[in-house]
Structure formats: structure tokens, C-alpha cells
Amino acid sequence: MEELLKQLPQKAKDKHNESKKFFAKLKKKPPRNLDVVMQQLHEEEFQQTDCLKCANCCKTTGPLFTDKDIERISKHFKMKPQQFINTYLRIDEDKDYVLQSVPCTFLGADNYCSIYDVRPKACREFPHTDRKKFQQISNLTLKNVAICPAAFNIVERMKELIENR
Ligand code: SF4
Ligand code: SF4
């Protein structure tokens, strides 16, 4: 996995223009069954990819924290929301709460998340490859394929499947 993660940014860069064109076409005319196709591709990929061997999202980016996330997680720590914010978060250029530093403070050396049951929504949903209307998040996906090997594989498989319709 380590080798694969090292090569991933370059692999994503090599495919960037091709993927960008693919998503531009997809946005104009998404297949009617796109949600079903994405669900299948997502499930197939995550049957093979073990996030516990990777954790690259937790190591390199970290999520944004919504007010609900902050409320839930601070309660878990028996902290006041503001105390949680002061300890762990900062506001980024988009005015969102994000981690003060990466790798995420809550990631263990064994790649387990110490707040798994109450983790932010963005962590639960990453890399968003099973969301509905996937064509709407192409810019985000083009970034995620350089971080997440599963997202990279899903997009490559998607291009094969949809371009060869
Ligand atoms: S979601 Fe992607 S980047 Fe995160 S641990 Fe799983 S495979 Fe790795
Ligand atoms: S909260 Fe948990 S799942 Fe989210 S980035 Fe941190 S370690 Fe990963």
C-alpha cells in the first residue's frame, strides 16, 4: 500500500486531463442509471480496498467539521463545543472548521479512528463515490483521486464502463 500511495499523485496527474474531459461530458449528459452504477462500483472497490491499511485521507487532508459534528464530538469528550474548537480546530480560507494539523489527531498508529462512532459526516462520506448525482462533484473528485486509491480505481473503472457504453 505504501508504494501505491507514493505513486498515486503522479498517477492521478497523468490521468487528470482525460478525467477532466470525461467529467465534462458526463455533466452534460449523465447516464440515467448513474446512481446505480456508482453504488455498484463503490461496493466492488471497497470489498477489495482495506481502509485500515491506508488511512491516507486521515493522514493528508482531514475533514471539515459542521456545527452538528462539533456538538456531537465535544459531547463525546465531555467538553464544551468552544473548548473542543479551541483545542483541535481552526477556520480555513473557506470559513469552515478544519483540523489544526494533519495527520488527524484522532488517528491511531494502527490506523483506527479513536472517535469512529461520532466521527465527522465528511469522514463517513469520503470519498463520496456512492453519493447520488456523482457528476456534480467532479472538481472535488479530481482532487480526491490523488489522495484516495479507491476513488482513483472507481473513476478509472467508471471511464471504462461509461465510455464503452
Ligand atoms: S477512503 Fe480512500 S484514502 Fe481513505 S482510507 Fe479508504 S482508501 Fe484510503
Ligand atoms: S476523525 Fe477519524 S475518520 Fe476522520 S480524519 Fe480523523 S481519524 Fe480519520
Ligand nearest to the CA of 104: 2
| DSSP result, 98-157 | EESSSS-TTB-TTS-BTTGGG--HHHHHTT-TTSSSGGGGHHHHHHHTTT-HHHHHHHHH
Determine, yes or no, domain membership for 28.
no
Determine, yes or no, domain membership for 41.
no
Q: How many domains, in total, are found in the chain?
A: 2
Find the mean pLDDT for residues 4-25: 96
Supply the mean pLDDT for the chain: 96
**Does 113 share its domain with 130?**
no
Q: Taking CB atoms and a 6 Å cutoff, what residues make up the pocket around ligand 1?
A: 49, 51, 54-57, 126-127, 147-150
> What's residue 134's pLDDT?
94
**Does 97 share its domain with 69?**
yes
> What's residue 10's pLDDT?
97
**Does 143 share its domain with 110?**
no
Determine, yes or no, domain membership for 45.
no
Q: Which tens digit of pLDDT belongs to each residue from 104-120?
A: 999 999 999 999 999 99
Determine, yes or no, domain membership for 31.
no
Is 107 near ligand 2, meaning CB less than 6 Å away?
yes
Determine, yes or no, domain membership for 141.
yes
> What's residue 165's pLDDT?
64
Domain around 110: 64-118
Is 102 near ligand 2, meaning CB less than 6 Å away?
no
Determine, yes or no, domain membership for 35.
no
**Does 138 share its domain with 103?**
no
Whether 163 shows a pLDDT value over 90: the answer reads: no
Using a pLDDT cut of 70, give the percent of the chain over it. 99
**Pocket probe mutation, ligand 1, options 44, 48, 52, 54, max atoms within 8 Å of Cβ:** 54
